[in-house]
């Protein structure tokens, strides 16, 4: 048994007047044990982020009162396109190779998806200064709008979500990457 793990950091802007989120910077740091070929690993992480972003902000199966699926085409089930996905920073680490195989390799995909929802949700909580405000993904405009009254300021959030076993060590790694917070 071995664990691949990742760290997600989101810097985003919440436009509280219209209830919109713009992800400004994003970092995925991922310990893959051993990066045999880093380029496709990076590609996989970037694409994993895009999938995670879809789940965080857009993708949702909606049903009507009779249980009929409403999100039946890609005009109703919205996925992020290149216009929605920011360029992200990727940090591939090899700190904890797997002892279970001769190369020391571990998973290098899923954990780039799974942290995104939590990182985005936490960053939104931080931006609107309401810890625990976001309880449901995707954070659509409709849901986000509920958190605002007549407030129309733009607030900047920077938040770190640590999604791995060794918080201290991972955050040190992150420090070595130039990321504006």
Partner 1 sequence: MTSFDLVEPRSLEEAFRYLDPSDPAIRPFGGGTALMLMIKAQMYKPQRLVSLGRLGGRFSGISFDANACRIGAMTRFATLEHSPEIAARLPVITEAMKTLANVRVRNVATVGGNLGHADPHLDLPPIWLVLDAKVTVVNRGGERVLPVADIFSGYYETTLGNDELIAEVEVPVRQGWRSKYVKVTTRATHDWPALGLAISVQIDGHLIKDLRIVLSAAVDFPRRLLGAEAVLRGAAIDEPLLQRAGEAAAEEADMESDSRGTGDYKRHLLRAHLRRAVLALAAE
- Using the rule CB under 8 A, is 92 a contact of partner 1? no
Task: Between 21 and 29, name the residue whose CB sits nearer to partner 1.
Answer: 21
Q: Helix, strand, or coil here: 163?
A: strand
Q: Which of 22, 43, 130, 145 binds partner 1 (CB under 8 A)?
A: 145
Give every strand in the sheet of 20-31, ordered side by side: 89-93, 20-31, 5-15, 154-163
CB of 15 to partner 1, least distance (A): 9
Residue 17 interacts with partner 1 (CB under 8 A): yes or no:
yes
Give the three-state DSSP class for 162. Answer: strand
Q: Are 7 and 165 in contact (CB under 8 A)?
A: no
Q: Pick from 39, 66, 142, 168 the residue near partner 1 by CB under 8 A.
A: 142
Peptide bond just before 34 cis, omega within 30 deg: no
User: Of 16-24, 35-43, 108-116, 173-181, which segment contacts partner 1 by CB under 8 A?
Assistant: 16-24
- 70 forms part of the interface with partner 1 (CB under 8 A): yes
* Intra-chain end-to-end CA distance of the chain, in Å: 35
Which residues are near partner 1 by CB under 8 A? Answer: 17-18, 20, 58, 62, 70, 75-76, 78-81, 83-84, 140-142, 145, 152
């Amino acid at each position: 048994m071995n664990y691949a793990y990742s760290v997600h950091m989101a810097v985003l802007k919440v436009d509280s007047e219209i209830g919109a989120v713009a992800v400004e910077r994003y970092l995925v740091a991922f310990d893959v044990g051993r990066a045999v070929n880093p380029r496709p690993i990076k590609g996989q992480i970037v694409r994993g982020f895009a999938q995670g972003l879809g789940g965080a902000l857009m993708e949702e199966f909606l049903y009507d009162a009779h249980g009929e699926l409403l999100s039946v085409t890609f005009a109703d089930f919205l996925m992020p396109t290149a216009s929605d996905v920011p360029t992200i920073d990727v940090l591939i680490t090899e700190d904890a190779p797997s002892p279970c195989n001769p190369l020391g390799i571990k998973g290098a995909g899923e954990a780039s998806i799974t942290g995104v929802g939590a990182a985005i949700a936490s960053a939104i909580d931080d931006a609107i200064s309401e810890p625990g405000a976001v309880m449901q993904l995707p954070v659509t405009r409709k849901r986000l709008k509920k958190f605002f009254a007549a407030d129309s300021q733009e607030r900047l959030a920077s938040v770190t979500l640590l999604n791995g076993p060794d918080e201290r060590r991972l955050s040190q790694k992150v420090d070595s990457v130039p990321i504006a917070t």
